[in-house]
Amino acid sequence: MEINGKLLANKIIDYLKEVVKKENLHPKLVVFSVRPTDDDLIYIGLKKKAAHTIGADFEVISYKKTPRFEEFANVLRNKADSKETTGLIIQRPLPSQLASETLFNYVPLLKEIEGHKAKSPFFPPLGLGVFTMLKYVYNPGDKEIIENILVNPSADMGFFKQILRRKKIVLMGRGETGGKPIGKMFSEARINYLNTHSKTASDSAFYKEADIIITAVGKRVLTKDMVKPGVILLNVGYRRDRGVARGDYDNEDITELASFYTPTPGGIGPLEIAYLMYNLVESVRMQNKA
Protein backbone atom coordinates (compact mmCIF):
# COMPACT_ATOMS: atom_id res chain seq x y z
CA MET A 1 0.00 0.00 0.00
CA GLU A 2 1.36 3.39 -0.97
CA ILE A 3 1.40 6.06 1.76
CA ASN A 4 0.65 9.52 0.39
CA GLY A 5 3.10 11.75 2.26
CA LYS A 6 1.91 14.88 0.49
CA LEU A 7 -1.63 14.37 1.76
CA LEU A 8 -0.43 13.88 5.34
CA ALA A 9 1.87 16.91 5.08
CA ASN A 10 -0.98 19.10 3.87
CA LYS A 11 -3.04 18.14 6.92
CA ILE A 12 -0.16 19.16 9.20
CA ILE A 13 0.33 22.45 7.33
CA ASP A 14 -3.41 23.24 7.63
CA TYR A 15 -3.25 22.51 11.36
CA LEU A 16 -0.24 24.80 11.82
CA LYS A 17 -1.96 27.58 9.89
CA GLU A 18 -4.81 27.46 12.40
CA VAL A 19 -2.39 27.47 15.36
CA VAL A 20 -0.50 30.52 14.07
CA LYS A 21 -3.74 32.42 13.53
CA LYS A 22 -5.40 31.36 16.79
CA GLU A 23 -2.36 32.12 18.97
CA ASN A 24 -1.41 35.27 17.02
CA LEU A 25 2.13 34.02 16.45
CA HIS A 26 4.68 35.77 14.25
CA PRO A 27 7.19 33.18 13.00
CA LYS A 28 9.98 34.05 10.59
CA LEU A 29 12.25 31.52 8.92
CA VAL A 30 15.65 32.53 7.53
CA VAL A 31 17.43 30.15 5.14
CA PHE A 32 21.14 30.40 4.34
CA SER A 33 22.22 28.87 1.04
CA VAL A 34 25.60 28.77 -0.71
CA ARG A 35 25.95 27.91 -4.41
CA PRO A 36 22.53 26.23 -4.56
CA THR A 37 21.85 23.59 -7.21
CA ASP A 38 18.63 23.50 -9.21
CA ASP A 39 17.28 20.89 -6.79
CA ASP A 40 18.26 23.08 -3.83
CA LEU A 41 16.33 26.00 -5.32
CA ILE A 42 13.25 23.82 -5.76
CA TYR A 43 13.52 22.66 -2.16
CA ILE A 44 13.95 26.21 -0.86
CA GLY A 45 10.93 27.25 -2.90
CA LEU A 46 8.84 24.53 -1.27
CA LYS A 47 9.91 25.76 2.16
CA LYS A 48 8.96 29.31 1.21
CA LYS A 49 5.53 28.16 0.02
CA ALA A 50 4.92 26.19 3.23
CA ALA A 51 6.04 29.12 5.41
CA HIS A 52 3.72 31.56 3.66
CA THR A 53 0.85 29.06 3.86
CA ILE A 54 1.04 28.82 7.66
CA GLY A 55 1.42 32.60 7.96
CA ALA A 56 5.18 32.87 8.54
CA ASP A 57 7.64 35.34 7.06
CA PHE A 58 10.44 33.88 4.97
CA GLU A 59 13.86 35.16 3.94
CA VAL A 60 16.61 33.57 1.86
CA ILE A 61 20.22 34.69 2.08
CA SER A 62 21.87 33.10 -0.93
CA TYR A 63 25.46 33.22 -2.17
CA LYS A 64 26.24 32.40 -5.79
CA LYS A 65 29.95 32.20 -4.89
CA THR A 66 31.49 30.82 -1.73
CA PRO A 67 32.08 33.69 0.74
CA ARG A 68 34.92 33.91 3.21
CA PHE A 69 34.17 32.02 6.41
CA GLU A 70 34.34 35.19 8.54
CA GLU A 71 31.95 37.04 6.25
CA PHE A 72 29.45 34.19 6.22
CA ALA A 73 29.68 33.71 10.00
CA ASN A 74 29.11 37.42 10.68
CA VAL A 75 25.98 37.59 8.53
CA LEU A 76 24.74 34.34 10.09
CA ARG A 77 25.29 35.63 13.61
CA ASN A 78 23.54 38.94 12.92
CA LYS A 79 20.50 37.22 11.44
CA ALA A 80 20.39 34.67 14.25
CA ASP A 81 20.52 37.43 16.88
CA SER A 82 17.71 39.41 15.27
CA LYS A 83 14.49 39.36 17.29
CA GLU A 84 12.52 39.05 14.05
CA THR A 85 14.21 35.73 13.24
CA THR A 86 12.48 32.91 15.09
CA GLY A 87 13.97 30.02 13.13
CA LEU A 88 17.13 29.62 11.04
CA ILE A 89 18.47 26.83 8.85
CA ILE A 90 21.69 26.37 6.93
CA GLN A 91 21.07 24.58 3.64
CA ARG A 92 23.46 21.65 3.41
CA PRO A 93 25.75 20.37 2.07
CA LEU A 94 28.02 23.41 2.24
CA PRO A 95 31.24 23.97 0.29
CA SER A 96 34.25 22.53 2.12
CA GLN A 97 35.48 26.00 3.09
CA LEU A 98 32.33 26.53 5.16
CA ALA A 99 31.56 22.97 6.28
CA SER A 100 32.26 23.46 9.98
CA GLU A 101 30.20 22.65 13.06
CA THR A 102 31.40 26.01 14.40
CA LEU A 103 28.73 27.75 12.33
CA PHE A 104 25.98 26.26 14.46
CA ASN A 105 27.47 27.95 17.53
CA TYR A 106 26.16 31.23 16.13
CA VAL A 107 22.56 29.96 16.13
CA PRO A 108 20.70 30.00 19.48
CA LEU A 109 19.23 26.64 20.52
CA LEU A 110 15.65 27.93 20.32
CA LYS A 111 16.19 29.03 16.71
CA GLU A 112 18.10 25.97 15.43
CA ILE A 113 14.94 24.23 14.28
CA GLU A 114 16.58 21.39 12.32
CA GLY A 115 17.53 19.60 15.55
CA HIS A 116 21.16 19.46 14.43
CA LYS A 117 22.83 20.55 17.66
CA ALA A 118 23.42 17.98 20.40
CA LYS A 119 21.22 19.72 22.99
CA SER A 120 18.58 20.98 20.58
CA PRO A 121 15.01 21.02 21.97
CA PHE A 122 13.81 19.96 18.51
CA PHE A 123 13.72 16.58 16.82
CA PRO A 124 15.02 16.49 13.22
CA PRO A 125 12.15 17.17 10.77
CA LEU A 126 13.25 14.24 8.61
CA GLY A 127 13.12 11.89 11.60
CA LEU A 128 9.66 13.18 12.51
CA GLY A 129 8.57 12.50 8.94
CA VAL A 130 9.76 8.89 9.17
CA PHE A 131 7.98 8.42 12.50
CA THR A 132 4.79 9.89 11.02
CA MET A 133 4.83 7.14 8.40
CA LEU A 134 5.25 4.55 11.15
CA LYS A 135 2.41 6.11 13.13
CA TYR A 136 0.25 5.93 10.00
CA VAL A 137 1.00 2.22 9.65
CA TYR A 138 0.59 1.15 13.28
CA ASN A 139 -2.01 3.57 14.68
CA PRO A 140 -5.50 2.26 13.82
CA GLY A 141 -7.15 5.60 14.62
CA ASP A 142 -9.06 7.79 12.16
CA LYS A 143 -6.52 9.38 9.81
CA GLU A 144 -8.76 12.44 9.41
CA ILE A 145 -7.97 13.42 13.00
CA ILE A 146 -4.74 15.40 13.24
CA GLU A 147 -3.71 13.77 16.52
CA ASN A 148 -3.58 10.42 14.72
CA ILE A 149 -1.16 11.81 12.14
CA LEU A 150 1.01 14.39 13.87
CA VAL A 151 3.93 13.06 15.89
CA ASN A 152 4.11 14.71 19.29
CA PRO A 153 7.67 13.98 20.52
CA SER A 154 6.79 14.46 24.17
CA ALA A 155 3.68 12.26 24.10
CA ASP A 156 4.23 9.62 21.42
CA MET A 157 7.57 8.04 22.30
CA GLY A 158 6.00 5.45 24.58
CA PHE A 159 3.73 4.39 21.71
CA PHE A 160 6.68 4.00 19.34
CA LYS A 161 8.76 2.06 21.86
CA GLN A 162 5.91 -0.39 22.34
CA ILE A 163 5.03 -1.01 18.69
CA LEU A 164 8.64 -1.16 17.48
CA ARG A 165 10.07 -3.14 20.39
CA ARG A 166 10.27 -6.44 18.52
CA LYS A 167 10.59 -5.11 14.98
CA LYS A 168 13.79 -5.57 13.00
CA ILE A 169 14.59 -2.11 11.67
CA VAL A 170 17.33 -1.39 9.14
CA LEU A 171 18.45 2.11 8.20
CA MET A 172 20.46 2.28 4.97
CA GLY A 173 22.84 5.26 4.80
CA ARG A 174 24.54 7.55 7.29
CA GLY A 175 24.76 10.84 5.40
CA GLU A 176 24.66 14.23 7.09
CA THR A 177 21.22 15.15 5.74
CA GLY A 178 19.70 11.66 5.49
CA GLY A 179 20.71 8.71 7.62
CA LYS A 180 22.26 10.71 10.43
CA PRO A 181 19.17 12.73 11.51
CA ILE A 182 16.96 9.64 11.18
CA GLY A 183 19.37 7.63 13.31
CA LYS A 184 19.39 10.43 15.88
CA MET A 185 15.61 10.20 16.09
CA PHE A 186 15.68 6.46 16.78
CA SER A 187 18.53 6.81 19.27
CA GLU A 188 16.84 9.57 21.25
CA ALA A 189 13.65 7.50 21.33
CA ARG A 190 15.79 4.54 22.53
CA ILE A 191 14.57 2.29 19.76
CA ASN A 192 16.99 -0.34 18.46
CA TYR A 193 17.91 -0.27 14.80
CA LEU A 194 20.72 -1.44 12.53
CA ASN A 195 22.52 1.14 10.40
CA THR A 196 24.13 -0.21 7.21
CA HIS A 197 26.32 1.72 4.76
CA SER A 198 28.82 1.19 1.97
CA LYS A 199 31.37 -0.37 4.33
CA THR A 200 28.95 -2.87 5.91
CA ALA A 201 29.93 -6.47 5.15
CA SER A 202 27.39 -9.20 4.32
CA ASP A 203 24.43 -6.86 4.66
CA SER A 204 22.05 -8.84 2.42
CA ALA A 205 20.89 -11.04 5.33
CA PHE A 206 19.89 -7.95 7.32
CA TYR A 207 17.59 -6.73 4.55
CA LYS A 208 15.97 -10.13 4.03
CA GLU A 209 15.06 -10.37 7.72
CA ALA A 210 13.99 -6.75 8.22
CA ASP A 211 10.41 -5.78 9.07
CA ILE A 212 11.10 -2.11 8.31
CA ILE A 213 13.73 -0.72 5.94
CA ILE A 214 14.46 2.99 5.69
CA THR A 215 16.60 3.99 2.71
CA ALA A 216 18.65 7.20 2.75
CA VAL A 217 21.34 6.69 0.11
CA GLY A 218 20.50 8.55 -3.10
CA LYS A 219 21.14 5.55 -5.38
CA ARG A 220 19.14 2.52 -6.49
CA VAL A 221 20.25 0.20 -3.70
CA LEU A 222 17.17 -1.91 -3.00
CA THR A 223 15.32 -4.37 -5.24
CA LYS A 224 12.44 -6.76 -4.59
CA ASP A 225 14.68 -9.82 -4.43
CA MET A 226 16.51 -8.32 -1.42
CA VAL A 227 13.51 -8.06 0.94
CA LYS A 228 10.81 -10.31 2.37
CA PRO A 229 7.08 -10.12 1.55
CA GLY A 230 5.19 -7.72 3.80
CA VAL A 231 8.16 -5.48 4.51
CA ILE A 232 7.59 -1.78 5.20
CA LEU A 233 9.75 0.40 2.93
CA LEU A 234 10.33 4.07 3.72
CA ASN A 235 12.53 6.04 1.34
CA VAL A 236 14.21 9.42 1.86
CA GLY A 237 16.96 9.03 -0.76
CA TYR A 238 16.70 11.09 -3.94
CA ARG A 239 18.15 10.62 -7.41
CA ARG A 240 17.29 11.46 -11.00
CA ASP A 241 17.01 8.75 -13.62
CA ARG A 242 16.77 10.19 -17.13
CA GLY A 243 15.29 13.35 -15.69
CA VAL A 244 12.74 11.52 -13.52
CA ALA A 245 12.83 11.86 -9.73
CA ARG A 246 13.29 8.48 -8.04
CA GLY A 247 14.21 7.09 -4.65
CA ASP A 248 16.50 4.28 -3.50
CA TYR A 249 14.08 1.71 -4.92
CA ASP A 250 11.80 1.86 -7.93
CA ASN A 251 8.16 2.15 -6.88
CA GLU A 252 6.93 -0.24 -9.55
CA ASP A 253 9.47 -2.87 -8.47
CA ILE A 254 8.23 -3.25 -4.91
CA THR A 255 4.52 -2.37 -5.12
CA GLU A 256 3.25 -5.95 -4.88
CA LEU A 257 5.80 -7.03 -2.27
CA ALA A 258 5.72 -4.32 0.41
CA SER A 259 2.81 -4.08 2.82
CA PHE A 260 3.42 -0.31 2.98
CA TYR A 261 5.82 1.89 1.07
CA THR A 262 6.51 5.56 0.43
CA PRO A 263 6.77 6.77 -3.17
CA THR A 264 9.24 9.22 -4.68
CA PRO A 265 8.22 11.95 -5.13
CA GLY A 266 5.41 12.55 -2.66
CA GLY A 267 6.68 10.42 0.22
CA ILE A 268 8.64 11.65 3.22
CA GLY A 269 9.96 14.82 1.51
CA PRO A 270 6.73 16.83 1.99
CA LEU A 271 6.57 15.67 5.61
CA GLU A 272 10.11 16.90 6.27
CA ILE A 273 9.05 20.38 5.18
CA ALA A 274 5.84 20.18 7.21
CA TYR A 275 7.81 19.32 10.36
CA LEU A 276 10.27 22.10 9.68
CA MET A 277 7.23 24.38 9.91
CA TYR A 278 6.09 22.50 13.04
CA ASN A 279 9.46 23.19 14.69
CA LEU A 280 9.27 26.81 13.54
CA VAL A 281 5.92 27.25 15.27
CA GLU A 282 7.21 25.52 18.40
CA SER A 283 10.26 27.80 18.38
CA VAL A 284 8.02 30.89 18.51
CA ARG A 285 6.07 29.43 21.40
CA MET A 286 9.28 28.68 23.32
CA GLN A 287 10.76 32.13 22.63
CA ASN A 288 7.56 33.84 23.76
CA LYS A 289 7.80 31.99 27.07
CA ALA A 290 11.54 32.61 27.55
In 3D space, the residue among 112, 117, 152 whose CA is nearest the CA of residue 15 turns out to be 152
Please confirm whether the linkage preceding 93 is cis (ω < 30° from 0): yes
pLDDT at residue 244, as a whole number: 84
Whole-prediction pTM? 0.94
81, 113, 145 — which closes off a domain?
113
- 232 has a pLDDT exceeding 80: yes
Is 118 part of any domain?
no
Residue 145 belongs to domain spanning: 125-267
Is 290 part of any domain?
no
Side chain identity, residue 285: R
- 65 has a pLDDT exceeding 90: yes
pLDDT at residue 175, as a whole number: 86
Same domain for 52 and 101, yes or no, is yes
Same domain for 91 and 191, yes or no, is no
- 110 vs 204: which has the higher pLDDT: 110
Residue 212 contacts by C-beta under 8 Å, 6 or more apart in sequence?
134, 164, 167, 168, 169, 170, 231, 232, 234
Same domain for 217 and 162, yes or no, is yes
- 171 has a pLDDT exceeding 80: yes
- 117 vs 275: which has the higher pLDDT: 275
Is 60 part of any domain?
yes
Same domain for 133 and 96, yes or no, is no
CATH number, domain with residue 86: 3.40.50.10860
pLDDT at residue 229, as a whole number: 95
- 97 has a pLDDT exceeding 70: yes
Same domain for 98 and 40, yes or no, is yes
Contact 212, 134 (CB under 8 A): yes
Please confirm whether the linkage preceding 265 is cis (ω < 30° from 0): yes
Same domain for 108 and 137, yes or no, is no
Same domain for 244 and 130, yes or no, is yes
In 3D space, the residue among 289, 219, 286, 224 whose CA is nearest the CA of residue 261 turns out to be 224
Same domain for 58 and 129, yes or no, is no
Contact 63, 35 (CB under 8 A): yes
Is 95 part of any domain?
yes
In 3D space, the residue among 190, 182, 139, 144 whose CA is nearest the CA of residue 268 turns out to be 182
Is 171 part of any domain?
yes
Is 275 part of any domain?
no
**Phi/psi of residue 106, each to 5°?**
-85, -5
Is 158 part of any domain?
yes
Q: Using 50, 70 and 90 to split pLDDT, how confident is the model at 202?
A: low
In 3D space, the residue among 129, 155, 122, 132 whose CA is nearest the CA of residue 285 turns out to be 122
CATH number, domain with residue 263: 3.40.50.720
What is the total count of domains within the chain?
A: 2
Q: Using 50, 70 and 90 to split pLDDT, how confident is the model at 84?
A: very high
Same domain for 45 and 164, yes or no, is no
DSSP secondary structure letter of residue 7: H
What is 151-169 written as a DSSP string?
--HHHHHHHHHHHHTT--E
- 201 has a pLDDT exceeding 80: no
Same domain for 179 and 233, yes or no, is yes
Q: What is the mean pLDDT of the chain?
A: 93
Q: How many residues make up the chain in this entry?
A: 290
Same domain for 221 and 262, yes or no, is yes
Residue-wise pLDDT for 40-63, tens only, equals 999 999 999 999 999 999 999 999
Residue 256 contacts by C-beta under 8 Å, 6 or more apart in sequence?
none
